[in-house]
Structure 1
């Protein structure tokens, strides 16, 4: 079911963390992997590297064109941590991701899969719908700061908000390309032990400390990559517009507490 032999799959953020592990897993399952990143990924598990800056519309357009046609899956894994500031975080984590995805849509094969890496941090998206709608409506990369000012999104909140928007955008696109069999889903990890885990702990402070006490351990890229790979496979064709938690039970823990079930 997870056999990806012969499929061409684009992975953004392939140089480190979850993106690097996903590229490795996909490659070992037989896929031809195109790694898109600002930094060069491990050549052992990437058949082709395309440099791109997801904060730069010109770079995004050039990278998408360079990917070629007949792409069977796109894994949107590249992203910035909350320490980078609200404008870069929202620009890369949503506007750039969306622009790259939309540029690749004509290049995707029928039946292709799009997998967005969201986060447990986006759990509260339903409480931020007006701001989310405004962000989805924004097309100007230069308009992020003004939108943040209008909706009270500061640096500390920017990462949460970027993932809330990504989850909502995924839900919106559950059937957008259904006539071509193209599906979009997202995966929401909890805290994962990657090079940017320290950035999250620094920004989230007491909340992160509480999460780490509840969890038996932080996640690992190897916990997340197989789920992304499954969503790229033909076996996941009936999963559409879903946000799948992969977080050691943290999503369930939050819901159980919220509804008095713990």
Structure 2
């Protein structure tokens, strides 16, 4: 893996940062992309073999410049991890068009733009794309009309990429995290929400950022050389569990 280069968007924190650390451990070099310059510089400061690039993935002109700069710095791109995302949890009737577009332009447009701009480089290396979806793209949920729809679209975009890029040896897969113990999640999930999630998950716990990173790194690696067009829910079984699972558990205990 010594000479391989991964481009990770939303790399300043959370799953993106955890994925960066794992890539570095595995011998990759990493282009860390984020529009939060202060947090990006702070996160990148002590990471060897990684370089920070401040760009906004929702702006086409910036994406083109970003790919050029990454290629100038590293010479190649072997994997693209489209992790950058935003969320705004509002009732469907209160989600105005500006909120809808703000989420779509990063969560969906950004994935399209970055992937498209990186295609020539990925063809050269027969590389991999991993798009970060969400359990909200697989299961409808209250307050997620824009967020969930954006992630559902990312799932389908992943399949389109797999179909069209397979002829060039480029693979594309999607990882859909379930409830993960990030700083953001812990700040907005009340004890009642946490309890409800735990009841609905067969593993009975939140995941952590490293666990999601392990799936991402595997899909980018040669170990997954025959895997493309797949949607993998890293969610403790949340997507698989049916309605009424907590009640069934209680009945089983009795």
Q: Same fold (TM over 0.5)?
A: yes
Residue 93 of structure 2 corresponds to which residue in structure 1? none
State how far apart, in whole Å, the 2-side matches of 1:207 and 1:170 are: 30
Unaligned stretches of 5+ residues in structure 2: 91-98
3-state SS in 2 of match to 1:251:
coil
Residue 87 of structure 1 corresponds to which residue in structure 2? 101
- Relative to the length of structure 1, the TM-score reads 0.78
1:76 aligns with 2:82: yes
The answer on whether the counterparts of 1:71 and 1:112 sit within 8 Å (CA) in structure 2 is yes
State how far apart, in whole Å, the 1-side matches of 2:242 and 2:174 are: 19
Alignment RMSD (CA, Å): 2.6
Summarize the Cα distance change of 1:121–1:209 in structure 2 as closer, same or farther, 3 Å threshold.
farther
State how far apart, in whole Å, the 2-side matches of 1:164 and 1:172 are: 13
Q: Encode CA deviations 1:196-245: one digit per residue, 9 max, x unaligned.
A: 2157648xx98775223333221110110011111111110110100011
Unaligned stretches of 5+ residues in structure 1: 126-153
Residue 135 of structure 1 corresponds to which residue in structure 2? none
Which of the residues 225, 246, 252 maps onto 2:234? 246
1:214 aligns with 2:200: yes
The answer on whether the counterparts of 1:55 and 1:88 sit within 8 Å (CA) in structure 2 is no
Which of the residues 49, 54, 58 maps onto 2:57? 54
Residue 119 of structure 1 corresponds to which residue in structure 2? 134
Residue 181 of structure 1 corresponds to which residue in structure 2? 169
Residue 218 of structure 2 corresponds to which residue in structure 1? 230
3-state SS in 2 of match to 1:49:
strand
Residue 44 of structure 1 corresponds to which residue in structure 2? 46
Q: Encode CA deviations 1:143-162: one digit per residue, 9 max, x unaligned.
A: xxxxxxxxxxx974111001
> Runs in 1 of length 4+ with deviation above 4 angstroms?
205-209
1:256, distance to aligned residue in structure 2 (A)? 9.4
The answer on whether the counterparts of 1:82 and 1:200 sit within 8 Å (CA) in structure 2 is no
Which of the residues 29, 32, 37 maps onto 1:35? 32
Residue 94 of structure 2 corresponds to which residue in structure 1? none
1:191, distance to aligned residue in structure 2 (A)? 1.0
The answer on whether the counterparts of 1:53 and 1:60 sit within 8 Å (CA) in structure 2 is yes
3-state SS in 1 of match to 2:130:
strand
State how far apart, in whole Å, the 1-side matches of 2:105 and 2:84 are: 12
Mean alpha-carbon deviation: is it higher for 86-95 or for 14-23?
Answer: 86-95
The answer on whether the counterparts of 1:111 and 1:182 sit within 8 Å (CA) in structure 2 is yes
- Relative to the length of structure 2, the TM-score reads 0.80
3-state SS in 2 of match to 1:99:
helix
